Amino acid sequence: MNTKIIDQFIDHLWLEDGLSKNTLNSYRFDLTLFADWLSKDGNIDLIHVSQLEIQQYLAYKFPTSQARSISRLLATLRRLYRFLLREKKIDQDPTLKIQSPKTPKTLPKSLNEAEVESLLSAPNLKSPMGIRDKAMLELLYACGLRVTELVSILLTEVIISDGVVRVTGKGNKTRLVPMGEEAVEFVQQYIADARHNILRKKTSKYLFVTARGSAMTRQAFWYLIKKYALVANIDIPLSPHVLRHAFATHLINHGADLRVVQMLLGHSDISTTQIYTHVARERLKKIHQEHHPRG
């Protein structure tokens, strides 16, 4: 019974939201653990769960889990029982009156604009690899891409004449993102010359390639960004995702509308984007403390 219900729910999520395999596996894992606990604790199936059993399970998980994990688990259970309610398999939602634990707002690490400039200036433009790396860094920052999105871009998805790139994000959702003048200039330079020199006589459908003729990998680019952080004398822990945070933070600092930033980042929910308003607020508070006589 429980396995059948979980399978139906996962199929529903895949059809409705087009979620990735990893996300669907996470849902399945959480629900299987819950179903196993129910069967061991009182031989109860997922259909006949009450609010009390869910609260007892959350209390059971709480000592070994972070508040954020508990919130995610409760969100999974809420989706399951709303689905079962719509399918008329249950009469009421047992999660309706359960409150999520408060989770601390963690501000993502970011770079200031001077640090970004230093990082983007680090590659050696006298070599084809340097031009490739420069184009990748410029595009990552100009478009606020996830690293997986960056390395997955196809050559045919770059429209230089319009200054946009077609990006495939989470759940295979695509979006068109403007590149900006600097990124367009270096991507065009890379495509026109450096890419051919790197590939030599090999071919690839991907925009960013290695000398072996394969697509740049997430791991390889992670090492590259670490290397350029050293060249730029940036001493905070740096990853490709930090440039995505810098992209969003700098847009909001310069007055960009939150909905626009949400669209550019490819966030399905604006609450995910709202963290950057906190980043901007913290920056303003820091400036006030440093420069105001009563700070």
Burial of 194 (0-12, 13-18, 19+ CB in 10 A): buried
Nearest to 221 by CA among 123, 125, 136: 136
Closest to 89 measured CA to CA, from 22, 5, 185: 5
157 Cβ contact list (under 8 Å, min separation 6): 165, 166, 167, 207
Query: Hey, what are 155's tokens?
Result: 């050559």
CA torsion sign, 66 to 269 to 236 to 124? positive
Dig out the tokens for 269 from the structure: 């929910």
Query: Do 216 and 201 contact (CB within 8 A), yes or no?
Result: no
Nearest to 6 by CA among 27, 22, 37, 23: 27
Q: Which residues pair with 177 in a beta bridge?
A: 165
Residues acting as catalytic residues? 146, 170, 241, 244, 267, 276
H/E segment holding residue 142: helix 128-143
Q: Among residues 211, 206, 222, 231, which one has the least CA distance to residue 152?
A: 206
End-to-end CA distance of the chain: 62
